Structures are given as structure tokens and as C-alpha cells.
Amino acid sequence: MIYKRSSALFNEAKQYIPGGVNSPVRAFKAVGGDPVFVKEAKGAYLYDEDGNELIDYIASWGPLILGHAYEPVLNAIIDKAKKGTSFGMPTEIETDLAKLAVSMVPNIDKIRFVNSGTEACMSAVRLARGYSGKDKIIKFAGCYHGHSDSFLIQAGSGAVTFGSPNSPGVTQGTAKDTLLANYNDLESVKALTTANKGEIAAIIIEPVAGNMGCIIPTEEFITGLRELCTKEGILLIFDEVMTGFRLGTGGAQEALGIDADIVTFGKVIGGGLPVGAFAARNEIMSYLAPEGPVYQAGTLSGNPLAMSAGLAMLTELNSRPEVFESLADKTEHLHEGFDNVLRTKGIPYQINRYGSMISVHFTDAPVVDFASSAKGNNETFKTYFHGMLNQGIYLPPSAFESYFLNDALSYGDLDKTIDALKKVF
């Protein structure tokens, strides 16, 4: 395929935007080459500035679970826009979406809307600290919770040491309150809680990880994590920015059968517009301003355009829960097809899948955490990514990202994708 105009647009963008992009993964640094510039999209397809049609497996990194330009969502946005885009004042639709979200998700009483997943996770941690009166948090290597300072932390020199900043601009003072554990390794969490007895406010985790590829928690790990938090008086935060309203109407809590203390949302809850949220039981949410002392605010939070998109999306999903089974079946079909192709090619690989999330890792060993994900052959991944792209398949341009299927994908699209893989290696 030809990407002449995309390359020209990227060169122009670099003159005015740092790196030419407004989010780093878009720059194709991990795979090489120039990024594809999208002109429009419909259903399961992207149409780029060079006139190429691409089958889409990122769905705007998750929110477009029913496909691009989904008519009920578009109509809701258009109708609301005609009445004004933002007021900075309360509107009824905020309550409508809150009521619906609370009815769909187990173990939450109230929800606060914000503008992004980063903002939701940042606010959830602040709320946990304010509620508990403790400062430290535990996060997991490879789990991404946005670019707030508390989350941009890498491992220290040992299992019970403080983390250290992995981005300039994050201070050592901030880093010292973030402890780093290993995903699917309950003993690493226990070591941290023992070494920091009575000091940990919360443990935050992607219940099904999507930022080191799709990584599934073992039952022993996720159940043990809940039991440990209850025993030690630590709040368990599920970052469901990716999994919320994607793994089922009740998200990962429902799918895994685990109750979190605070849950964060993004992606699907905005229907394609910038929306995030965090939610919990009444006794925790009552600590939030203006009801309580923990401050959080946002001029555009709950704006009517975003709320209308989210309400339309969640209404559709709530009325058609069979969508989740349909998506899981399609993802399984893709998994089986990829399995058959890669097995015959003799290439070391692992495929991880949960619901409508899936990822391919070019390694011999099972991928269960960040360390095992990082062992994947990146050169093979580059060949795979560009080979698929040249045949009209758009995958995440990073080996450390989950694919997100949308229900507009047909089995014909899936079979075309499987056939494309046969030609890559």
C-alpha cells in the first residue's frame, strides 16, 4: 500500500507538534516507519489520507466497541450539540449516565465523571489516600494507569525498595510513595505490604492487563490480592479504563467475580468522546468534594456531548448483552486462525486472549507479566506489523498493546485477517 500523503502530513506535523503526534504510541517509534493518518472511519474500517481501506483492530484503543460512526451514538451527539456543547453547570444527562452506570456495575453506589482515564486513576488514588489517611500505593510493572506522576515509576533495586522515576519531571519525592510489584506474583505484593506495614493506602491494578499485551490474572493471584487488601486494610483499585463495559456489562469485577473498592473507567463509557470516571461505595465517595475533604474538579467534566455519547453507548450495551458473547466468539475465531497459521510457520509465539482483548507475542515462554512480555522478539513483531499493514490490517503499532475487537467486524473480515497472516512470514 502507498502512504505518500500520510508521510507528508507526518513531516508537516513534526514542525508544530512534538514528535508529530499528540500521544507517543502513534509515532510508530516501536515499529519504524511513518504513522498512518486517518481521514474517516465506518464500522470496522479505517480510511486513510492515501485512500487505503484498513480493517481496524484498535477501535480507538477500545472505546468503539460497536464500531466506528455507530449511528445511535452519532445521533445522540448531533442532537445534543445543537443545544450547546458545554455549560460548566449541572445537566440532567449527567445523572442519567451515572444512574445507568451504577445499575450496570456491581459494588458501586456513586460515580464521578472526569475527562480521561489518566484523570480518573489520578483522582482514584487521591481519594484512596484521603479516605485511608495513608500515603503509599502499590502498582504493578507493566500496568499503565495514565501519565500522572505517581504512575510513571520503574523498579527499584529490590522487591521491597521504593520505585524510581522513569520520566524526567517526576520527582524522587513522588516516586518514594509508589511501590512496584510483579503482576501475577502475589508474593511480591506480600513482601511490599510486610515491609511497609500500615502505610499503604491502595493497590491499583489493571484486572486484565492491556498495556503489556493482554495479560490474564491467575485466579490464585487476583483472589489472593483481594484477600490481602481486606486483611491489611488496603483499598483495591481496579483500573477498568480498558475492561469496563468491554468484558461485560459489569466489567472485570463481574467477569472475574472480584469486588474492588474503587473502580476507574474510560474508553467505552465515553462512546468515543473523551470521558473518564471513578466510582466506589457511598462511604468512600462521601470523602469527595464538595461532600468531603478530598478535592477534585474539572470545568468540562460531565459535559453534555460526552455524556450523550456515553449514555447512548451504555444504553445499547445494556439492552444487548449478547454483544459481549458475540465479541468473545469473534476473538476466539481470530485466535484459532492465528494459532493454525503460526504453528505451521514454526515461529515461536504466544497468544493471550480474554473476552474481546487479544495479543500476539513472539516468544517461546508463556506471557504472564511484564518481564515475560518483554522477552518477545521485537524484530519479528516489526515484520508482522508492517506485513499486516501492507495487506490492509491495522494492528496496534506496539508489541505491548492489546488488540480491541469491535462488533462491526464480520467473520469475513476475520478470515481476511487470518489469510493476510499467511503471507507475512
CATH number, residue 361: 3.90.1150.10
Cis before residue 290, ω within 30 degrees of 0?
yes
Domain boundary, last residue among 302, 319, 336: 319
pLDDT at 175 (0 to 100): 79
Local structure of 303: helix, strand or coil: coil
Average pLDDT (204-214) is 97
Under 8 Å between Cβ of 196 and 162: no
How far is it, in rounded angstroms, from Cα 300 to Cα 321? 30
The pLDDT of 380-403, averaged and rounded, is 97
The answer on 359 and 299 residing in a single domain is no
Q: Whats the size of the chain, residue-wise?
A: 425
How far is residue 180's CA from residue 243's CA, in Å, rounded to a whole number? Answer: 22
| Band of pLDDT at residue 149, cut at 50, 70 and 90 | confident
**Same domain? 164 vs 199:** yes
Please determine, for residue 156, whether its predicted confidence score (pLDDT) is greater than 60: no
Q: Establish if 339 belongs to a structural domain.
A: no
Query: What local confidence, expressed as pLDDT, does residue 360 receive?
Result: 98
To the query of whether residue 144 is one of the catalytic residues in this protein, the response is yes
Give a yes or no: residue 332 inside a domain.
Answer: no
Arithmetic mean of pLDDT, 48-72: 98
Measured CA to CA in angstroms, residue 170 lies from 118, 143, 149, 348 at distances of 15, 18, 6, 38
- Could you tell me which of 301, 298, 297, 295 has the C-alpha nearest to residue 130? 295
CA distance 272 to 286: 29
- Judged against a pLDDT cut of 70, whether residue 268 lies above it is answered with yes
Task: To the nearest 10°, report the CA torsion of 174, 179, 183, 186.
Answer: -160
Structural domain ending residue among the three candidates 299, 319, 339: 319
Task: Name the catalytic one among 134, 267, 384, 407.
Answer: 267
Range of the domain at 208: 71-319
How does pLDDT run across 95-108, given as a tens digit for each residue? 999 999 999 999 99
In a domain, 342, yes or no: no
Catalytic member of 239, 261, 369, 413: 239
Please work out, in degrees rounded to the nearest 5, the angle formed at the alpha carbon of residue 165 by the alpha carbons of 162 and 168.
Answer: 160
In this predicted model, which residue has the larger pLDDT, 66 or 174?
A: 66
Q: Which of 14-18, 65-69, 166-170 has the lowest mean pLDDT?
A: 166-170
Active-site annotation holds for 295? no
For residue 164, the model assigns a pLDDT of 66
The total number of structural domains in the chain stands at 2
Q: Which of 206, 242, 271 is nearest to 356 (CA)?
A: 242
User: What is the number of helices (H) and of strands (E) in the chain?
Assistant: 14, 16
Inside any domain, residue 333: no
Mean pLDDT along residues 174-193: 94
- pLDDT for 275 equals 97
Q: Which of 70, 144, 183, 349 is catalytic?
A: 144
Which residues are 393's β-sheet partners? 55
Q: Does 213 fall in a domain?
A: yes
Q: Is the pLDDT of residue 351 over 70?
A: yes
Are 175 and 281 within one domain? yes
In this structure, are 52 and 95 located in the same domain? no
The HSE-up count of residue 7 (CA atoms within 13 Å, CB side) is 7
Is 328 among the domain residues? no
Instruction: Confirm whether 125 is domain-assigned.
Output: yes
Q: What's the order of all strands across the beta sheet hosting 393-394?
A: 38-42, 45-48, 53-56, 393-394
Q: What CATH number did the domain enclosing 308 receive? A: 3.40.640.10
Supply the pLDDT for residue 162: 53
Strand 235-240 versus strand 262-265 pairing type: parallel
Q: Tell whether 38 and 166 lie within a shared domain.
A: no
- What per-residue confidence (pLDDT) applies to 86? 95
Q: Kindly write down the DSSP assignment for every residue of 12-46, as one continuous string.
A: HHTTTSGGG-SSGGGG-TTT-SPPPPEEEEEBTEE
Cell of 303: 459535559
- Compute the distance between CA of residue 267 and CA of residue 294 in angstroms, rounded to an integer: 25
- Say yes or no: 82 and 57 in one domain: no
Q: Looking at 270, 298, 319, which one is the last position of a domain? A: 319
Per-residue cell: 166? 522513569
Q: Please check whether residues 43 and 108 belong to one and the same domain.
A: no
User: Within this chain, do residues 242 and 194 fall inside the same structural domain, yes or no?
Assistant: yes
**Bridge partners of 238?**
205, 263
| 44 and 116 together in one domain | no
Q: Mind listing the pLDDT tens digit for each residue in 32-55?
A: 999 999 999 999 999 999 999 999
- Band the pLDDT of 152: cuts 50, 70, 90: confident
CA separation for the pair 309, 129 (Å, rounded): 32
**Co-location of 264 and 188 in the same domain:** yes
Q: Which residues contact 255 (CB under 8 A, 6 or more apart)?
A: 208, 243, 247, 248, 354, 355
pLDDT of 160 > 90? The answer is no
Same domain? 56 vs 95: no
- State whether 53 and 156 are in the same domain: no
Cell 513522588 maps to which residue?
174
Closest to 114 (Cα-Cα) out of 130, 129, 127, 131: 127
Cα 327 from Cα 413, distance rounded (Å):
13
Judged by DSSP in three states, 93 sits in helix
* Amino acid 163: pLDDT: 59
The whole-model pTM stands at 0.96
